[in-house]
Structures are given as structure tokens and as C-alpha cells.
Amino acid sequence: MTWFKQKWPRLLLVAGLVVLLDQLSKQLVLHSMPVGSGFPLIDGFFDIVHVRNPGGAFGFLSGQSQSVREFFFLFVTGVATIFILWVYNTIPETHRILASGLAMVFGGAVGNLIDRLRFGNVVDFIDWYIGDLHWPAFNLADSAICIGVGILIFHILFNRMPEEN
């Protein structure tokens, strides 16, 4: 898989796979579960639910009007994706894991942007909890973003960032 060692095909593959899996999983939820429904996958720990998040992470801005949310999230997503692509372009071929992590962030951002453009909100369906303590519901795009950011943080904390030329 020599082509995977090349930077831009890797972005298309990783980000494309994230978007594809994210959108397919959301379609499964959309077509099989009414909003607000759910079922346990691992009783007392992990449910599949169908919720809509009009806001950002942890419901950020969910109480604002739809026009404020649309402007904010489209603007922030646009700026973030341009920034991610710029940073991605600066990463040398020797940092494949870092590049893949940024591609995951890019794919996750695109996956959630598709929801915002289609529905005006994001489809979430993964619900982790212990007893009454629930993590806010999320989706595969959110997971990819978190993993990608985790890879970036690892590189920063352990001084694995590319050297400046």
C-alpha cells in the first residue's frame, strides 16, 4: 500500500472512511429508531439511543436560535477545516500517525457538517453511562475527532511534532 504513504491519498482514505462509517451508522439509526428511543447494548453501561443535538459538544449553544447556531457552526467548521488542511499540508511524510489523526478530525468535522446541513442538528446515538451518570450522547464523527485530537495531544506532550525547517 505505497499510496497510503502519500499524504493526500491518506487524507482522502481516512477522512472518507470516517465520513462513510459516520453517515452509514446515522442512517441506520434514522431508519430504525424514532427520535427519543433507545435500547441497551450492555445493560447498565452502554445504550444505543436516537437523539438530536442542535448545539455543539455538551449541548453548547443549544439554547440559541437556529440562525445563530447555523452561522456559528458553519463558520467555525469552515475555519477549522481550512486550518486542519493547512496544518495537514505542513506535516512531513515521516509523521503518518499525526497526519492520520488530523485526517480523522477532518472527517469527523465533515460528518457532523453533513448533519447540520441536512437536518439543522447532529444525530447522536452512542450513550455511555454508569448508573445515573451519563456521558452526553455522541456519534462516530465525534469519536473520530476525539481520537484525532488525542493523537495530536500525544505528539505535542511527548515532543513528537515535526521539526521546523
Tens digits of residue pLDDT in 102-128: 999 999 999 999 998 999 899 999 999
Cα–Cα nearest to 36, from 24, 22, 53: 53
74 to each of 33, 65, 103, 113, 122, how far by Cα in Å? 27, 14, 19, 7, 13
Examine residue 110 and state whether it is found in any structural domain, yes or no: yes
Examine residue 42 and state whether it is found in any structural domain, yes or no: no
- The pTM (predicted TM-score) of the whole model is 0.87
Catalytic residue among 22, 47, 124, 127: 124
CA-CA-CA-CA torsion for 46, 49, 55, 59, nearest 10 degrees? -40
Q: State the total domains in the chain.
A: 1
CA-CA-CA-CA torsion for 122, 125, 128, 129, nearest 10 degrees? 90
Examine residue 137 and state whether it is found in any structural domain, yes or no: yes
Catalytic residue among 47, 115, 127, 142: 142
Is residue 142 among the annotated active site residues? yes
Cα–Cα nearest to 36, from 25, 47, 23, 52: 52
Is residue 127 among the annotated active site residues? no
Examine residue 2 and state whether it is found in any structural domain, yes or no: no
Examine residue 41 and state whether it is found in any structural domain, yes or no: no
Q: Which domain holds residue 61?
A: 7-34+49-157
CA atoms within 13 A on the CB side of 27: 8
Examine residue 89 and state whether it is found in any structural domain, yes or no: yes
Looking at residues 131-136, what average pLDDT do you find?
89
> Does residue 9 contact residue 2 with C-beta atoms inside 8 Å?
no
Examine residue 78 and state whether it is found in any structural domain, yes or no: yes
What is the separation, in whole angstroms, between the first and last Cα of the chain? 28
Tens digits of residue pLDDT in 4-34: 567 889 999 999 999 999 999 999 999 999 9
Examine residue 44 and state whether it is found in any structural domain, yes or no: no
